[in-house]
Structure 1
Amino acid sequence: MKKPLPFLFLFLGILTFSQQVESLTTILNDKISIRALEIYDGKVWYSGTDSKFGCVDLKNFNNQKQIKLSEKKLQFRTLAQDKTSFYAINIESPAYFFKIDKKSLKSQTIFTDTTKTAFYDALHYVNEDLAYAFSDSDKDNNLKLAVFNSKGRNKWYLIENERKLNPGEAAFAASNTNIASTKNYLWIATGGKASRILRLAFKNEKFEIFDTPFIQGESSQGMYSIDFINDKFGIAVGGDYTKQDANVNNIATTNDGGETWQIQASGKNAGYTTCVKIKPNSKGKEIISVGDQHISYSSDFGKTWKKISDEKGFFVCKWVNGNTIVLAGKDKISLLKLKF
């Protein structure tokens, strides 16, 4: 009875990493850097550098549209949507909040943050009535959020918060994914001199801040992306963009809503990572991640990882369906199909 066990473990290992790349197809080539994606109406929508905003049909790649949201050469690293509109905010000050009608693609500026320190790292819609945008803090290290609440002021506004970030603690506008939410919570991941999790409970609108064992201490280190499947299980990825091969303490998971984090695959992953997305309906078991130098996959809740592609230059990814992921980054959007 003891002899079959090694073969059983080998078989299970093969099953664990049975996913393979069926195809990786570039569907957009352009002089652009893209760090934010949305899926709508069978198309992938993007915002990027040089004020560019557009879409590519996921079934007919030649069906493409692109507009410029401004005559200024703005850099967009955020994108979100509700039922009728898309929303995007440029990095750097002044920060313009754009609303783009889904039918006409006509855009308008609905809010402007003229604070000199404005630098919006992520924009996130919790639901149709509530949205948050996270900016680097001001000179006093106060937590800075812009909020939209249709049941309150029904417009974007800045909120004052007594919570302070540590000196040198900020966030990374790497893939518009350092914010995540469920029905009851919003999470924000920080990085730099400190890499912590900020958790907002919608019930009482109170923030809690939790330390993490993630790599931190330098301005280039920390969590770059998070995703949560429910109120308890979440994953964070990141590293150090100046040392992209470094792979120690750059992946972590939580099973208690972000209060405590467990380092995973330290020293056994592909390195610096900018975006992580849990596969829908997988209950957190299957996860895709991308970095400048790799595409990686986990089939065991983020505990172990397999590099499935050496393709370079991707910053952001998003699931289209159970075996298809759209990826974007430097000068391209691509469609990845997996077989299991």
Structure 2
Amino acid sequence: MVLALAFATMLGAGAFGRPAPSWQVLDTGTTARLRGLAAVSERVAWASGTGGTVLRTVDGGRSWQQVGPPGASDLQFRDIEAFDAWHAVVLSIGEGEASRVYVTDDGGKSWTETFRNTDPAAFYDCVAFLDRRHGLALSDPVGGKFRILATNDGGRHWAVQPVDGMPDALPGEFAFAASGTCLVTVGKASAKAAGNGAGNGAGNGEATDRHAWFATGGGDRSRVFHSADGGRHWSVTASPIPSGEAAGIFSLAFQDRRRGLAVGGDFLAPTAAPDAAATTRDGGRTWTVARTVPGEYRSGVAWRSGHGDTAYAVGPTGSDVTYDAGRTWHRFDTGSFDSVQCAGGTCWASGDAGRVARLR
């Protein structure tokens, strides 16, 4: 711990010209691996992971409640989306019936299973919401095309979308269920913010932004798919981030319709990831490798809302910060995290062995 703090202080003073950020690790009371993370506000956050684990805090991380669905100990909840302290949607991953969706409207006191995959060829990786009602879930290719599941009632009902608007997948191409951010929207942050202080109201607002993106790897190149109509039709473009059997883009984050970040690498070789961070300024039509990349595998990336061009990337070997919208990255921590999310200027990270932290 002392060496890690010394490392962060030294690097921060030299590389940033400002005080270095640091993580305050919190006691969650669990040893589950927490790849799912939903930052709602300075006080409210949710995390999910192995063993059917779902955690919730409403006091800034000082205490955590285990609120997972009963009878779910065999499931891996790799993604969770939350709108406030009461309403959340959690996705379990896996082949066939292991891919499920649960919804709670009372802070995890009770859950309703609203989707169970019955196609043995499908494997759902991520879920994202455009607003409190409209959401999408992404499956690896079925019959040569990625599959999209959609809801228009906050996750209570889901329907598989037609595939005529989906480009063909590459041989071996798939998405990574590493941090719940292989599928993202512009509306995700605003949807969560709209829930702050909303009590138990479900909200009835229509989606203000219909843009969504998902990222891939596994094939001969990593790619980013984009929809401008809420997931009905998709375009696709290649990215410069290297791809391979265990490599590609693991996480996306979009600040608005045009400015986005992508990070990744090879999870089987986490200490070497050349060219594994890229930026876009045209909504994902073109991508440029960062001038200074983290240089190691990163599974999560998030913009810090209200802080201009600041964003954070995390992985099992450390955390990095950019102050120039992803053009250059600087290491500030060597601890292990899988996911990072920010809301209202407050950033949270989660990972292995029940690790959850808040950014100081």
Report the TM-score when normalising by structure 2: 0.82
Residues 71/154 of structure 1: CA separation in 2 closer, same or farther (3 Å cut):
closer
Structure 1 contact 326–333 (Cα < 8 Å) conserved: no
TM-score (norm 1): 0.86
Q: How far 1:202 sits from its partner (Å)? A: 1.4
**Helix, strand or coil for the counterpart of 2:48?**
strand
The equivalent of 2:117 in structure 1 is 113
1:320-339 correspondence runs (5 A):
320-322=343-345, 324-338=346-360
How has the CA–CA distance of structure 1 residues 20 and 72 changed in structure 2, closer, same or farther, with 3 Å as cutoff? closer
Whether 1:276 and 2:291 are equivalent positions in the alignment is no
Give me the whole-angstrom Cα distance separating, in 1, the residues matched to 2:270 and 2:231. Answer: 40
Report if the CA contact (8 A) 1:97-1:110 is conserved: yes
CA spacing shift, 1:286–1:70, aligned 2, 3 Å: same
Q: Which runs of 5+ in 2 are unaligned?
A: 1-12, 187-208
More strand by share: 1
Give the stretch that moved more between structures: 90-99 or 201-210.
201-210
Q: Spell out, residue by residue over 1:134-166, the C-alpha distance to the aligned partner (whole angstroms, 9 max, x if none).
A: 01112x212201111249x98201112132211
1:265 equivalent in alignment to 2:266:
no
Give the gaps of 5 or more residues in structure 1. 1-12
Which of structures 1 and 2 has the bigger CA Rg?
Answer: 1
Deviation at 1:119, TM superposition (A): 1.6
Tell whether 2:330 aligns with 1:306: yes
The aligned length equals 319
Instruction: Write the distance in 2 (CA, Å) between the matches of 1:203 and 1:99.
Output: 21
Q: Does 1:214 align with 2:241?
A: yes
- CA distance, structure 1, for counterparts of residue 231 and residue 51 of structure 2: 40
Structure 1 residue aligned with 2:32: 32
Q: 1:174 aligns with which of 164, 178, 181?
A: 178
Rounded Cα–Cα distance in structure 1 between residues aligned with 2:245 and 2:65: 38
SS in 1 for 2:34: strand
**How big is the alpha-carbon RMSD for the aligned residues of Structure 1 and Structure 2?**
2.4
In the alignment, which residue of structure 1 is the partner of 2:228? Answer: 201
Residue 247 (str. 1) matches residue 273 (str. 2): yes
Where does 1:92-111 land on structure 2 (aligned, <5 Å)? 92=94, 93-94=96-97, 95-103=99-107, 105-111=109-115
* Residue type at the aligned position of 1:43: V
Residue 145 in 1 paired to residue 170 in 2? Answer: no
Structure 2 SS opposite 1:77: strand
Amino acid at match of 1:279: R
> Which whole-Å CA distance do the structure 1 matches of 2:230 and 2:299 have between them?
30
Give the conservation status (yes or no) of the 8 Å contact 2:40–2:83: no
Matched letter for residue 297 of structure 2 = Y
1:57 to partner: Cα distance: 3.9
